Structure 1
């Protein structure tokens, strides 16, 4: 029974994902053996440091703070970027006006937004939220614009000819196509959101994982630093697997047709 469960759990893509993680751990252990504890602590030493963070009560509040900062900025960027991108994709004048602005915003380094937000908002959580939103919003805008622009013109004309209601056109014509562009961009934007949020916390000292990294750096505790890095990566993978990936699978199935239907 247990063997059947594990065979099913590690079937298909999960098997390759597990192999990828094992390869990273093997390379990590090899690097530790070459460079030693000070430069690269072993996975076991990192896990031990992670356990100490949990027992000391530092882990839970830091995770909640960073999750709030990253996801709040990500949601703001997603809402505003998708809305403006959708409108720009349908309006040539608006697209001509907004695209240079988005390009300029993308060109500003994330660390510059962090520094500016700290000057504007101080060491509050709003600084991290603003930094995330303004750093990742242009990426979402660009994907939404491209997705809206490239909706099949013949399909749109056919829907109008048959007087398909607007809400049906939005749900069955526009949305699946736009999401094929938007969802990969949201995955990249989500990853960037965590990095920018941690960066803002590290410089502001307002709590969160970034503040924990700053404290570990000050104490020259490499194992603790690696433990915080592992926490960030784990959070990103959890949110991506539980939120982005299920939505992506749903709409990919929608575009292919019902399960069992011939392509």
Structure 2
């Protein structure tokens, strides 16, 4: 509870420090507009047109339903990946034999393209939420697993022995020795898995469902509606930025205060 209060107190300062990130987004929009002027409306519509289309889409109830459905699928899958990947990876990291046996398996899983998992999930589960969630979980799981595995395997024995020599309690060992080290490995893998989940959910919806943002992108593709397609891309990118920078990044800053 105390950590949550500290996170909430630090949000205004964190938001104020976000001007650098905002400037990079504005730079990207400027480059987008430059590319529009260079290649024309069909190839790359103007940012203004895409944002107008985005506003118009928000006036429609179907768009909100698609966004909520896609958001639910991506977040649910990501939570499953973070939970199981972190726990199983840390357990595997405690045993050398298990670590050696799982590495080739994770390499195989990471090397298999998501499109192959989508096809298999469509065969196994049909066009349903299960096929989308399964694809995200099986494709993103190795990222978190490997992060947890490496974090566990690289625990500093000297630091642990020093803490034990000062008769540190088990709770202090967990919170002040083990967790900060593990978190430095886990958090980047969580962020990577989050981005992977966002990309795969759209791909899976585009091919295996008739609802969600991915399905709306499929409709825009068949109609050659580049403006709507870019508006949908903006929705997905904006959602990802909100989750990462307004939810996860403040938590990361609170946990990593020991680095200062």
TM-score, normalised via structure 1 length: 0.89
Contact 1:74 1:190 in 2 (8 A): yes
- What value does the CA root-mean-square deviation take over the aligned residues? 1.7
Is the counterpart of residue 153 in structure 1 residue 157 in structure 2?
Answer: yes
Equivalent position of 2:259 in the other structure: 256
Contact 2:14 2:250 in 1 (8 A): no
Equivalent position of 2:8 in the other structure: none
Is the counterpart of residue 99 in structure 1 residue 103 in structure 2?
Answer: yes
- Deviation of residue 9 (structure 1)? 9.1
How many residues get paired? 248
1-side partners of 2:173 and 2:251: how far apart?
A: 20
Q: Which residue of 75, 80, 83 maps to 2:84?
A: 80
- Deviation of residue 59 (structure 1)? 2.0
Deviations 1:61-116 (A, max 9, x none): 11111111111111111111111111122111111121111111111011111111
Equivalent position of 1:70 in the other structure: 74
Is the counterpart of residue 57 in structure 1 residue 61 in structure 2?
Answer: yes
Aligned ranges 1:87-166 → 2 under 5 Å: 87-166=91-170
Contact 1:125 1:206 in 2 (8 A): no
Distance change >3 Å, CA 241–CA 116, structure 1 → 2: same
2-side partners of 1:131 and 1:161: how far apart?
A: 47
Residue 43 of structure 2 aligns to a residue whose secondary structure is: coil
Contact 1:85 1:145 in 2 (8 A): yes
Unaligned runs of 5+ in 2: 1-12
- Deviation of residue 173 (structure 1)? 1.1
Residue 249 of structure 1 aligns to a residue whose secondary structure is: helix
Equivalent position of 1:171 in the other structure: 175
Contact 1:89 1:149 in 2 (8 A): yes
1-side partners of 2:123 and 2:163: how far apart?
A: 51
Q: Which residue of 26, 32, 35 maps to 1:28?
A: 32
Higher relative contact order (CA 8 A, sep 6+): 2
Structure 1 window deviating more from structure 2 (53-62 vs 99-108): it is 53-62
Is the counterpart of residue 43 in structure 1 residue 47 in structure 2?
Answer: yes
- Deviation of residue 161 (structure 1)? 4.0
